[in-house]
């Protein structure tokens, strides 16, 4: 059985953890870093409550995605590919999903490239190639060594991310009263609404939905060995998702708190290199270096998970026999081209998040629909209140992303 789960003991539930921690890296990608730092620098603690709400919504979405993979032994891309009545409709749906994967890679490769430029003066294009190569190696590792090795590697990078981004908070912690004040829901003008929509829109990423169902399938899918009973897997999965989203949510909150504490009103923090420079000026070179190292780990880990999702989308919706390297090149080349033709990295990062917002309905709505079908899910079918919560989250996130687009292009 994949993931070395055979013979797992009842007293060792840790053996059942891991997929959610890998999927949770999607919540710590360079796009999240840029949005959180900008929100804290511009509005202080005002949007703390948005991060908390976003994390609660993300918990439900990621649990439903994992449950889908566990109950069906298929990824969401495979399940959707089986349900399209015509080849044309399946390919059209696959094109938008692959376009989302490309946008994901653009954001994450840019983050890695910017980090290499900050740390080692590596040119952006060369940094993009290095980031892409490392993520491809990690994907090959998953294919050759199995889910467990991939999980341990990504979790190791997550530890670096946590340490790097939390270092600044240790140096200059915020006042508890200010943080509590940020938990009161409110806005301060159109720009704060735009940033709130950006935070929510960047939280539930389409590729994280595809990836988690696939990760659960790869870790626990039956391949001739004994399958762990679903009633045992589901409680462990809830714990796994809780741990992963607690870590990811806390780190996102830390980014905002660091910016709110030491960078209020500082110009240029809407870009990653600007945020790095501002942290260095406020907290010293060590804090700036830790930020850059965490950004590099963020780019490497998130692009590896994004590549994993893109590979699964290609196989499930396009049903292609293209090699893993060939599939990887389809998503990574556009990211390198964007930097090679001189597009501003910060602009490309923002626009990639806008593109991702278009893909959310195409991933989130099918997820809630599939997990509510008894003939597919059996005893793991959503209860009515779970389905209602899922549709509420879907409607809320889609609405906020519409607001993001309106504010972004409507001149507000």
Domain extent listing, the chain: 18-409
Instruction: Output the pLDDT for position 49.
Output: 95
Could you tell me if 208 and 309 are in contact, meaning their C-beta atoms sit under 8 angstroms apart? yes
Instruction: Output the pLDDT for position 279.
Output: 93
Q: How far apart are alpha carbons 20 and 65 in whole angstroms?
A: 10
Q: Angle 318-319-323 (CA atoms, 0-180°, nearest 5)? A: 100
Instruction: Output the pLDDT for position 410.
Output: 65
pTM here? 0.88
Instruction: Output the pLDDT for position 74.
Output: 93
Q: To which residue do tokens 């001149």 refer? A: 411
Instruction: Output the pLDDT for position 89.
Output: 92
Q: Burial-class residue 262 by CB neighbours within 10 Å (0-12, 13-18, 19+).
A: buried
Instruction: Output the pLDDT for position 4.
Output: 37
Instruction: Output the pLDDT for position 381.
Output: 96
How far is CA 301 from its chain centroid? 10
Burial 62-79 (b: 16+ CB within 10 A, else e): bbbbbbbbbbbebbbbbb
Q: How far apart are alpha carbons 54 and 247 in whole angstroms?
A: 14
Contacts of 235 (CB under 8 A, 6+ apart): none
Domain 18-409 in CATH: superfamily?
A: Amino acid/polyamine transporter I (1.20.1740.10)
pLDDT tens across the length of the chain (412 residues): 333 334 434 433 555 678 888 898 888 888 888 889 889 999 999 999 999 998 999 999 999 999 999 999 999 999 999 999 899 999 999 999 988 888 888 888 999 999 999 999 999 999 999 998 998 888 888 778 777 788 888 889 999 999 999 999 999 999 999 999 999 999 888 888 878 877 876 777 888 999 999 998 888 865 433 467 888 889 999 999 999 999 999 999 999 999 999 988 787 777 888 889 999 999 999 999 999 999 999 999 988 888 788 888 888 888 876 676 777 777 778 888 988 898 888 778 777 777 777 788 899 999 999 999 999 999 999 999 999 999 998 898 888 777 767 776 765 4
Tokens representing residue 314 in the block:
């290609």
Instruction: Output the pLDDT for position 1.
Output: 35
Nearest partner of 217 among 140, 158, 146, judged by Cα: 146
Tally Cβ neighbours within 10 Å of residue 53: 16
Instruction: Output the pLDDT for position 321.
Output: 65
Nearest partner of 8 among 153, 219, 201, judged by Cα: 219
Tokens representing residue 315 in the block:
């196989």
Q: How far apart are alpha carbons 327 and 72 in whole angstroms?
A: 25
Q: At what angle do helices 206-220 and 87-120 cross, to 10 degrees?
A: 100
């Amino acid at each position: 059985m994949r993931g070395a789960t055979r013979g797992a003991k009842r007293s060792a539930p840790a053996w059942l953890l891991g997929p959610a921690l890998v999927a949770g890296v999607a919540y710590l990608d360079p796009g999240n870093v840029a949005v959180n730092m900008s929100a804290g620098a511009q509005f202080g603690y005002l949007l703390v409550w948005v991060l908390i709400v976003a994390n609660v919504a993300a918990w439900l979405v990621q649990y439903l995605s994992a449950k889908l993979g566990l109950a069906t032994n298929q990824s969401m891309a495979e399940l959707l590919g089986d349900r399209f009545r015509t080849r044309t409709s399946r390919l059209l749906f696959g094109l938008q999903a692959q376009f989302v994967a490309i946008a994901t890679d653009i954001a994450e490769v840019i983050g890695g490239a910017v980090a290499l430029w900050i740390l080692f003066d590596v040119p952006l294009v060369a940094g993009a190639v290095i980031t892409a190569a490392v993520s491809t190696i990690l994907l090959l590792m998953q294919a050759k060594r199995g889910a467990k090795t991939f999980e341990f590697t990504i979790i190791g990078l997550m530890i670096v991310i946590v340490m790097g981004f939390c270092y600044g908070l240790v140096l200059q912690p915020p006042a508890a009263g200010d943080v509590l004040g940020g938990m009161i829901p409110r806005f301060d003008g159109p720009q704060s609404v735009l940033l709130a929509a950006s935070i929510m829109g960047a939280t539930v990423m389409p590729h994280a939905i595809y990836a988690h169902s696939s990760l659960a399938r790869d870790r626990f899918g039956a391949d001739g060995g004994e399958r762990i009973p679903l009633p045992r897997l589901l409680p462990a999965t809830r714990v796994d998702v809780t741990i992963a989203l607690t870590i990811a949510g806390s780190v996102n909150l830390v980014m905002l708190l660091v910016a709110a504490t030491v960078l209020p009103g500082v110009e240029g923090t809407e870009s990653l290199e600007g945020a790095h420079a501002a942290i260095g000026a406020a907290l010293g070179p060590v804090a700036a270096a830790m930020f850059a190292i965490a950004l590099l780990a963020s780019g490497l880990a998130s692009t590896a998970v994004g590549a994993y999702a893109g590979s699964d989308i290609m196989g499930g919706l396009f049903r292609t026999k293209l090699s893993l390297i060939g599939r990887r090149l389809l998503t990574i080349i556009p990211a390198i081209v964007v930097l090679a033709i001189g597009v501003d990295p910060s602009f490309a990062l923002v626009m990639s998040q806008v593109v991702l917002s278009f893909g959310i309905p195409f991933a989130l709505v099918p997820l809630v629909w599939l997990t509510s079908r008894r003939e597919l899910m059996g005893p793991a079918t959503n209860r009515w209140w779970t389905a209602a919560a899922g549709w509420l989250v879907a409607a809320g996130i889609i609405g906020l992303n519409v607001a993001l687009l309106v504010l972004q292009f409507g001149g507000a």
